[in-house]
Amino acid sequence: MRDKNRKPVVMKIKPGISEFATSPEKVSDYISPLLSFAAEHVPRAKHKETPLYILCTAGMRVLPESQQKAILEDLLTDIPLHFDFLFSDSHAEVISGKQEGVYAWIGINFVLGRFEHIEEDDEAVVEVNIPGSESSEGIIRKRTAGILDMGGVSTQIAYEVPKTVSFASSQQEEVAKNLLAEFNLGCDVHQTEHVYRVYVATFLGFGGNAARQRYEDRLFANTAQKNRLLGKQTGLTPDAPYLDPCLPLDIKDEIQQNGKTLYLRGTGDFNLCRETLQPFMNKTNETQTSLNGVYQPPIHFQNSEFYGFSEFYYCTEDVLRMGGDYNAAAFTKAAKDYCATKWSILRERFDRGLYASHADLHRLKYQCFKSAWMFEVFHRGFSFPVTYKSLKTALQVYDKEVQWTLGAILYRTRFLPLRDIQREAFRASHTHWRGVSFVYNHYLFSGCFLVVLLSILLYLLRLRRIHRRAPRSASLWMEEGLPSQKGPGPL
């Protein structure tokens, strides 16, 4: 939906409603501006048939169940008193991380057009074994894209598993059931060709900021232990700092824990930083596992495509200016060079505005660490080969933020004709040539139609003139004594 100025109808407010855990009676008043905004843009006559969903994520998930219930009850009680949207008890809930991942996966693939029935010659396809289908033969449909999302606290991966997978043990199969989501995006439950099997896993503590905190906690513990064993004072004074390979060269930093301070100085060694971070992946020797030893079904790397959001984009773009198509070799070289550059030079570049406008000193300070962390999570944690060429890091897709909320609406209305929903609003700004082609064809058709119409009119006018001239010519022939045609007739 767009407003009269052709701008997307979007409104966001902060913080999330979990901030009202101790005063749940204020929640409905707090989100009232959002609902009023929606009410202004949805036609008044359509309010009663427009479903409203309030779906709560991580902030609410960490609250005690009693506080979650109190907040939802306030919403369910007060909203119907002031708004006429279609809003029932089942429309307000706290969703799981798995649901959130599925919604995000649906949203990105919808915007990319991967649920369309129209097949183009240059688009990749995949053979899919439909879950529960009696037929042993798979169906061929458009290949969907997987997503990787690294926030401050957690990291998430979601992708379609087109083929039936086998398990090394019954225990692994039981774990997999909690990570695999099967759902139908067809117009009805009988259209099994629209059934998707998606793997979704969320890893708490593997976000960029949480990882750095874990790393610093380990530094404190290891340094204290070594100092006791070796009788050293490493990191206890600015003159004898701990040499941190994950900080830019010659930067000075200090961290506090339990009233104690650890002094650091960066050495900017990207390879050593990576090596230091590898144990934090918590990988096991079992097959088909990823971070923390969690089950991960095989990925067909030769026929797959992934989009990396949040920290995957920030790490590649904000400082290194390499967002978009990911290349491991180029990224590694750029990260090495950045880490090995003196902090004074990095600060000078920052002051000259050579980095992205929203890159701040915090980003510069931890860019080396986060680059190494992202690299290790992607290649060691999720086992993507360093030769993998089909990862795109992005903030937006087709110039639009792709939120899990879009996928949530699509999923909740999955028995409507998903394939018939128009997505031009999402694609217009990106698919320039398609737009040009459409306009060009439109004018070409109109031009051809006018030419044909004009030709018909000219032809009819000519026939009319010929018809008028015929009797006149005959009379002239008689008057001038010209020979007439033999035989009976008016001449």
In terms of phi and psi (left: phi > 0; alpha: psi -120 to 50; beta: otherwise), the region of 423 is: alpha
Instruction: Confirm whether residue 155 is marked as ligand binding.
Output: yes
Q: How many residues are given for the chain?
A: 491
Q: How many CB atoms lie within 10 A of CB 430?
A: 15
Q: By the 8 A CB rule, do 321 and 367 touch?
A: no
Least Cα distance to 389 among 311, 296, 312, 306 occurs for: 306
Instruction: Confirm whether residue 422 is marked as ligand binding.
Output: no
Least Cα distance to 150 among 399, 372, 387 occurs for: 372
Strand pairing report for 139-142 and 125-128: antiparallel
Instruction: Confirm whether residue 101 is marked as ligand binding.
Output: no
Token couple for 189? 């439950």
Let me know if 127 is a catalytic residue: no
Give every CB contact of residue 241 below 8 A, 6+ residues apart in sequence.
234, 235, 252, 263, 264, 265
Phi first, then psi: what are they for 328, rounded to 5°? -60, -45
The Cα-based distances of 321 to 112, 249, 259, 324, 325 in angstroms read: 24, 20, 38, 9, 11
Q: By the 8 A CB rule, do 211 and 130 touch?
A: no
Q: Which of 100, 160, 311, 317 is catalytic?
A: 100
Q: By the 8 A CB rule, do 329 and 409 touch?
A: no
Binding site residue list for ATP:
152-156
Active site residues: 100
Binding site residue list:
152-156
